[in-house]
């Protein structure tokens, strides 16, 4: 039995079918579920919610939450070999340990940890310690540190599968990937982005390997941009299910697909991380918001 650390006044642990942390920092609010270390809400003060979480999502033990920031580890999707299950790895459906929560100026940092056990080793034969630092502030900073605590090299995928809230996906543009090669997972084709990505109601599922690009969602309906900037993260994914696929998804309300876009960052498949025994790798992402008349 793991004991709960003392929490600062600005952080509450709310028990439920799934326990969650409610953070009310001077600069921003957020919610983080212990299952999956899943951030489901973040809004800097005076901003509308930046993350999208489906009103039809299950919040049940062992089931992935639809929305927020699913943490994909140690494989992405069905894995590069396309035969892995559960989709996006086990980390998003496992309970993470709350290590600490601390106030730092006008922000709050929450630290969560996942280590291997019998169940994870049955799915992936490696010993590891994953530490996730979520800093809730004017921007949202996410740092995923993975240490190989086993005796053999380990290779893994990792991704922060961020669902951003948008006014209408048909009116947004995703900038930053112009000139970057991608594989279209829906069509099974490859290409190079020549323009910002736009959405017309069809499935968009593109993986951009080998890029460190900042990805900026411009949303005229909300009058704002949302930028994701990273360190040590070389893959980007852009996903929106579109009308037809969304219809078949039980955990997405009709038409909710119009109000979300996933701009994901990580190191997946060709960009997978390889760690020698005892080695550590840390991916960081910073999500920031600004008004469209300002610079992204
Ligand atoms: O339904 P899930 O497992 O959360 O995955 C959602 C999507 O996640 C995206 O990252 C993948 O590129 C898609 O192929 C996938 O459909």
pLDDT digits (tens, 9 = 90+) for 127-172: 999 999 999 999 999 999 999 999 999 999 999 999 999 999 999 9
CB environment 154-170: b (16+ within 10 A), e (fewer): bebbbbbbbbbbbbebe
Q: What is the pLDDT of residue 253?
A: 95
- Tell me the average pLDDT of the chain: 97
Cα separation of 223 and 216, whole Å?
13
DSSP three-state, residue 112: strand
For residue 121, what are the contacts with CB-CB under 8 A and spacing of at least 6?
127
Q: Is the CB of 87 under 6 A from ligand 1?
A: yes
User: Is 161 labeled as catalytic in the residue annotation?
Assistant: yes
Q: How far apart are CA 109 and CA 122, in angstroms?
A: 32
Residue 239 Cβ inside 6 Å of ligand 1? The answer reads yes
pLDDT of 283 strictly over 60: yes
Please determine, for residue 88, whether its predicted confidence score (pLDDT) is greater than 60.
yes
Q: How far is the first Cα of the chain from the last one, in angstroms, to the nearest whole number? A: 45
Share in percent of the chain as helix, strand, coil (round to 5): 10, 45, 45
To the query of whether residue 264 is one of the catalytic residues in this protein, the response is yes
CA distance 96 to 275: 22
- Closest approach atom of ligand 1 to CA 264: 10
Which of the residues 158, 193, 256, 264 is marked catalytic? 264
Task: Give the distance (Å) from ligand 1 centre to CA of residue 245.
Answer: 11
Query: Is the CB of residue 157 below 6 angstroms from any atom belonging to ligand 1?
Result: no
Which residue has the least CA distance to atom 12 on ligand 1?
A: 205
The whole-model pTM stands at 0.98
Position 247 confidence tier, pLDDT thresholds 50, 70, 90: very high
Q: Shortest CA distance to 286 belongs to which of 143, 130, 72?
A: 143
Out of 38, 126, 161, 222, the active site residue is 161
36 and 70 Cβ atoms separated by less than 8 Å: yes
Residue nearest to atom 9 of ligand 1 (CA): 239
Q: Cα 206 to chain center, whole Å?
A: 16
Ligand 1 contact via 93 beta carbon (within 6 Å):
no
C-alpha 263: how far from its chain's center?
Answer: 8
CB 71 within 8 A of CB 92: yes
Q: Is the CB of 205 under 6 A from ligand 1?
A: yes
Average pLDDT over residues 204-230: 98
> Alpha carbon 30 to chain centroid distance?
14
What letter would DSSP give residue 79?
T
From 53, 67, 87, the mutation candidate for ligand 1 (largest count of ligand atoms within 8 A of CB) is 87
C-alpha distances (whole Å) from 121 to each of 127, 151, 224, 231, 262 are 7, 14, 43, 28, 29
């Amino acid at each position: 039995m793991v004991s709960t650390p003392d929490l600062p006044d600005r952080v509450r642990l709310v028990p439920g079918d799934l326990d969650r942390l409610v953070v009310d920092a001077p600069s921003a609010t957020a919610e983080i579920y212990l299952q999956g270390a899943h951030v489901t809400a973040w809004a800097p003060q005076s901003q509308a919610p930046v993350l999208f979480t489906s009103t039809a999502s299950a919040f049940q033990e062992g089931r992935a939450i639809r929305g927020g920031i699913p943490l994909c580890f140690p494989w992405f999707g069905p894995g590069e070999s396309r035969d892995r299950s559960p989709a996006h790895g086990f980390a998003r459906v496992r309970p993470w340990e709350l290590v600490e929560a601390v106030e730092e100026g006008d922000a709050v940092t929450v630290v969560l940890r996942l280590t291997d056990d019998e169940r994870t080793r049955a799915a992936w034969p490696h010993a590891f310690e994953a530490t996730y630092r979520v800093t809730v502030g004017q921007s949202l900073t996410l740092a995923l540190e993975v240490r190989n605590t086993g005796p053999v090299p380990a290779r893994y995928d990792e991704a922060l599968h961020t669902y951003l809230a948008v006014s209408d996906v048909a009116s947004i543009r995703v900038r930053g990937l112009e000139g970057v090669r991608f594989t279209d997972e829906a069509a099974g084709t490859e290409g190079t982005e020549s323009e910002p990505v736009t959405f017309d109601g069809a499935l968009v599922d593109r993986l951009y390997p080998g890029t460190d690009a900042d990805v900026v969602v411009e949303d005229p309906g909300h009058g704002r941009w949302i930028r994701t900037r990273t360190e040590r993260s070389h893959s980007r994914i852009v996903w929106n299910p579109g009308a037809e696929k969304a219809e078949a998804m039980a955990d997405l309300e009709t038409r909710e697909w119009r109000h979300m876009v996933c701009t994901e960052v990580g190191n997946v498949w060709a960009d997978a991380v390889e760690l020698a025994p005892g080695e550590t790798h840390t991916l960081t992402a910073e999500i920031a918001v600004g008004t469209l008349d300002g610079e992204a």
